[in-house]
Amino acid sequence: MKTLRIAFSIETLEDFHLGTGLDCIGLYDDGQVKDLQGMPFIPSETLKGLLKQSCAEVKKVNAFYNEIYEEIFSFRNLSSLDLLIKYDENSSDNPFIIHTFTKIDENTGKGESGSLRDIEFGSKGCIFNVDLFFDIKNTDKETDIKTFLELGIQNLKWIGGSRRRGFGKVKCSINDFEPHNPIKHNPSNPMRILLELKDDVCIGGGGYKGNHIQTLYHINATTILGMFRNVLMKAQSSGDMSFLDDGKFKLTNFYPINSEEIEDLRVIPAPLSLRKIKPVNKYMSFKQERISEDIPHWAIDIDPKEGCKRSFDNFVNQDLLITDSKKDSDGASDKSISNEYIIFKGSLNNYENAKFYKPKTNLLMRNRIEESSQKTQDDGVFTQEALLSGNKFVGEIWFNNNEDMKRFAEVFKAFLTGERFFHLGKGAKPVSVIKTTIGKPKHKISEFSYHKKYITLTLESDIILYDEHLMPKLKIYPEDLGLQDYLLLKNDISSTSINQSFTGLAGMRRFTDISIEKGSCFLYEFKEGKSFNDINNTLEELQNKGLGFKKSEGFGRIIFNLPIHEYQKPDRKSKDNYHFKKETSLLPHYQKRNLKKAEELFVEAEKLLKAEGKNSEHGFGKTFINKIITMLEAGEDKNKIEYLINHNISKNTNSKNDWINFKKHFWDKVENKDYEIIKMAFLILRSENE
């Protein structure tokens, strides 16, 4: 099998609109699809559909390509087109523009009342660089497939909607493909693998809510195993392929991570026992930090950018698994944590320096397609949550012997070096290996420092357990661990989930499993006369082997005595705080700094408003105020805002005076167009108008 690669670019000759179906109140009624950096974007599904339509037109002209068309677009060879699309940031200074439309009454020839709408478009002059990949099973057809795809690319002339109004014209050019530089790969057993999504993808298993499809926030091991076995089924290599048979290996779930330096990092799902701090409680120490009481709470945003604000100190309030009878452990000062992952550097004991992380997602508006007519179904609109391209996930695989490990590395060499893509998720989206390294050792179990009469069990993955009647167990009792003579179940904070999967590649649905969900926690108390030393070796053995069924598919991973469970919020009324985290200040240093900056920002905005006579002179409408705030919060480019100001001043609209006043009293007055001062000023105006 060989991978065909074609590089080409798409240049927009006219403004174009690929809609999200979502509005931005006060700015537009339908937005343009954007990438993670807020730039114009062409979804791969959209471009695949356009390319399929263009290639269909080519084969109508030349019947020679009928068989080639079926080879590519019918998925007969279990391959699909992979399109990696990237916006050229140097192509356009103003990548967005808003066009205003109205609906014409057929009888009167005039615009219908209430039909005026603003649509966000991508500007002409935008350039998108595209890398196309296609796995060719029959290499004798490589030249014909390449020629046919290039003809289809060059025949592509339009994208997006409103084509009959003169929008969406494009020009496609074939480029030279840059050679691939393989990553360094050193086979090891176990092997740690870092994956990167090359396209937005919905991981099945998140479930449906009406017309909304949810995604999982991790890649479960069952999906990874299917990804591996799919490659084996297509592989033409000879030799033993049994190394991925059940019982010959173990595989973990792949959890999200925000770094490529994975050698010293470990990721686990956040235990369900943790509670995070409510934002309102971060403002309780303003008087201590000498913040003026005249500044309203909404004007002070002390949270810094993503990363710092999700540190353990600034995110977690307490852990509820080990509770003190003298304390109200579940007060109103905190809330539960969901779909969060904790990234540790080094040992799991180093939790105070850990970070909380959640992968970036997007909401897509989709249409269901009628298979026979290939047209959209009536009432077929639905929304789909997807993990964004660029998200990274890390997991491990290890084999019973090194021979199977070597065979795995040999068969998957092109994939493990990043030369070829794996595929997963709805629509079989491409995912690339960007690093492999030696697997992390298991957590070293140790006795708790302050709660020596307890041990805890935390689920690193879902666990499937059955009783003697083949009924699913919903809790883990000491007898399930074989430790009924030593332990009593004291407390648990747990949840269950439904797991559905298929057998291999045959597509046969398995029986539904009810599992105890990852992050669930159990607290056990030693029976009288028993201690940690009595069962230490048994705990190590259980942690290494795992618990329950389907361990080769990522289920059954457990952690004993996770140090986080000893974390509790400080109790200032108690003299006995030996097991509480010591806290010298209610706010860390960086939050004090941000509080001071927020206070200065509010004062500057107040000065600006007082100098211009405040709202009474300007007379801004509520809609206009919300529009300006929305634009600034979205981080719109200064040139784009300048264009919108001039565009709306030149229009004969009811808000014309608002735009004139905004430019005169704010935009031209603020030095360097400081977004934060302007936004704060308009937040003050909005609060006074409410």
Question: Do 56 and 71 meet the contact criterion of CB atoms below 8 Å apart?
Answer: no
Paired tokens of 5: 């690669």
Question: Do 305 and 292 meet the contact criterion of CB atoms below 8 Å apart?
Answer: no
Query: Coil, strand, or helix at residue 108?
Result: coil
Is the pLDDT at 197 greater than 80? The verdict is: yes
Chain centre to alpha carbon of residue 106? 46
- Residue 665: the pLDDT is 73
Lowest-confidence pick of 92-96, 420-424, 656-660: 656-660
Stretch 289-307: mean pLDDT: 55
For residue 199, list its beta bridge partners.
none
Residue 206 banded pLDDT, cuts 50, 70, 90:
low
Residue 561 banded pLDDT, cuts 50, 70, 90:
very high
Query: Coil, strand, or helix at residue 2?
Result: strand
Nearest in space to 170 (alpha carbons), one of 179, 183, 158, 186: 158
Using CA atoms, how far apart are residues 547 and 537, in angstroms rounded to an integer?
A: 16
Lowest-confidence pick of 139-148, 373-382, 647-656, 657-666: 647-656
Stretch 223-235: mean pLDDT: 83
Is the pLDDT at 279 greater than 60? The verdict is: no
Q: Is the pLDDT higher at 585 or at 156?
A: 156
Is the pLDDT at 218 greater than 60? The verdict is: yes
Is the pLDDT at 223 greater than 80? The verdict is: yes
- Residue 195: the pLDDT is 94
Q: Give the list of residues 6+ apart from residue 51 with CB closer than 8 angstroms, or none.
A: 81, 83, 149, 152, 153, 156
Using CA atoms, how far apart are residues 360 and 40, in angstroms rounded to an integer?
A: 18
Stretch 4-27: mean pLDDT: 80
pLDDT digits (tens, 9 = 90+) for 43-60: 888 898 899 999 999 999
Nearest in space to 132 (alpha carbons), one of 116, 113, 148: 148
Q: What kind and span of H or E run contains 54?
A: helix 44-61
CB neighbour class for 184 (10 Å; exposed up to 12, middle 13-18, buried from 19): exposed
Paired tokens of 109: 């020839």
Question: Do 449 and 579 meet the contact criterion of CB atoms below 8 Å apart?
Answer: yes
> Torsion over CA of 643, 646, 649 and 650, rounded to 10 degrees?
-100
Q: Which residue has the tokens 């491409």?
A: 430
Residue 334 banded pLDDT, cuts 50, 70, 90:
low
Can you say whether the dihedral through the CA atoms of 226, 229, 230, 233 is positive or negative?
Answer: negative
CA atoms within 13 A on the CB side of 299: 28
- Residue 572: the pLDDT is 42
Q: What kind and span of H or E run contains 537?
A: helix 532-545
Is the pLDDT at 575 greater than 70? The verdict is: no
* 244-260 burial code (b ≥16 CB/10 A, e <16): beeeebbbbbbbbbbee
pLDDT digits (tens, 9 = 90+) for 488-505: 999 999 999 887 766 655
Using CA atoms, how far apart are residues 435 and 433, in angstroms rounded to an integer?
A: 6
Helix axis angle for 44-61 and 66-73, nearest 10°, is 160
Which ranges in 74-220 belong to alpha helices (H)?
A: 142-155
Q: Which amino acid is at 511?
A: F
Is the pLDDT at 595 greater than 50? The verdict is: yes
Using CA atoms, how far apart are residues 513 and 504, in angstroms rounded to an integer?
A: 16
Which ranges in 372-476 belong to alpha helices (H)?
A: 402-411, 413-416
Using CA atoms, how far apart are residues 517 and 399, in angstroms rounded to an integer?
A: 25
Using CA atoms, how far apart are residues 47 and 364, in angstroms rounded to an integer?
A: 15
Is the pLDDT at 327 greater than 60? The verdict is: no
- Residue 374: the pLDDT is 63
Chain centre to alpha carbon of residue 404? 33
- Residue 525: the pLDDT is 93
Question: Do 465 and 481 meet the contact criterion of CB atoms below 8 Å apart?
Answer: no
Q: Which residue has the tokens 């000879």?
A: 238
Paired tokens of 634: 């979205």
Judge if the upstream peptide bond of residue 190 is cis by omega within 30 degrees of 0: yes
- Residue 328: the pLDDT is 44
Name the percent of the chain lying above pLDDT 90: 21
Q: Give the list of residues 6+ apart from residue 265 with CB closer than 8 angstroms, or none.
A: 257, 259, 343, 344, 345, 394
Q: Which amino acid is at 688?
A: E
Eight-class DSSP state of 65? G
Stretch 13-38: mean pLDDT: 74
Question: Do 107 and 116 meet the contact criterion of CB atoms below 8 Å apart?
Answer: no
Stretch 326-337: mean pLDDT: 54
Is the pLDDT at 289 greater than 60? The verdict is: no
CA triple 331-337-339, angle to 5 deg: 165
- Residue 28: the pLDDT is 67
How far, CA to CA in Å, does 437 sit from each of 186, 219, 225, 420, 451? 7, 19, 19, 18, 36
For 265-273+320-345+443-580, give the CATH class. mainly beta
Query: Coil, strand, or helix at residue 267?
Result: strand
Using CA atoms, how far apart are residues 498 and 271, in angstroms rounded to an integer?
A: 19
Mean pLDDT of the chain: 79
pLDDT digits (tens, 9 = 90+) for 598-630: 778 888 888 878 776 554 455 677 777 777 777
Q: Read off the pTM.
A: 0.76
**Is domain 2-175 given the CATH code 3.30.70 in the classification?**
yes
Using CA atoms, how far apart are residues 438 and 637, in angstroms rounded to an integer?
A: 44
pLDDT digits (tens, 9 = 90+) for 644-663: 677 667 655 556 677 777 77
Q: What share of the chain is helix, strand, coil (3-state, %, to 5)?
A: 30, 25, 45
Q: Which residue has the tokens 């004007």?
A: 299
Is the pLDDT at 684 greater than 90? The verdict is: no
Eight-class DSSP state of 440? P
Q: What are phi and psi of 225, to 5 degrees?
A: -65, -45
Lowest-confidence pick of 176-190, 275-289, 424-438, 617-631: 275-289
Q: Which residue has the tokens 């792949």?
A: 254
For the structural domain made of 191-258+360-438, what CATH number should be given? 3.30.70
Chain centre to alpha carbon of residue 180? 27
Lowest-confidence pick of 166-175, 188-197, 584-593, 628-637: 584-593
Nearest in space to 525 (alpha carbons), one of 580, 578, 452, 474: 452
Using CA atoms, how far apart are residues 268 and 518, in angstroms rounded to an integer?
A: 9
- Residue 302: the pLDDT is 46
Domain assignments of the chain as residue spans, ordered by start = 2-175, 191-258+360-438, 265-273+320-345+443-580, 612-689
Can you say whether the dihedral through the CA atoms of 214, 218, 222, 228 is positive or negative?
Answer: positive
Identical fold for domains 191-258+360-438 and 265-273+320-345+443-580, yes or no, is: no
Strands (E), 208-313: 208-209, 212-213, 249-251, 255-257, 265-269, 274-277
Question: Do 399 and 228 meet the contact criterion of CB atoms below 8 Å apart?
Answer: no
Residue 478 banded pLDDT, cuts 50, 70, 90:
very high
Helix axis angle for 66-73 and 142-155, nearest 10°, is 90
Paired tokens of 577: 């705080």
CB neighbour class for 316 (10 Å; exposed up to 12, middle 13-18, buried from 19): buried
- Residue 325: the pLDDT is 39
Q: Which residue has the tokens 């850990």?
A: 354
Q: What are phi and psi of 673, to 5 degrees?
A: 50, 55
Query: Coil, strand, or helix at residue 306?
Result: coil
Nearest in space to 172 (alpha carbons), one of 154, 187, 184: 154
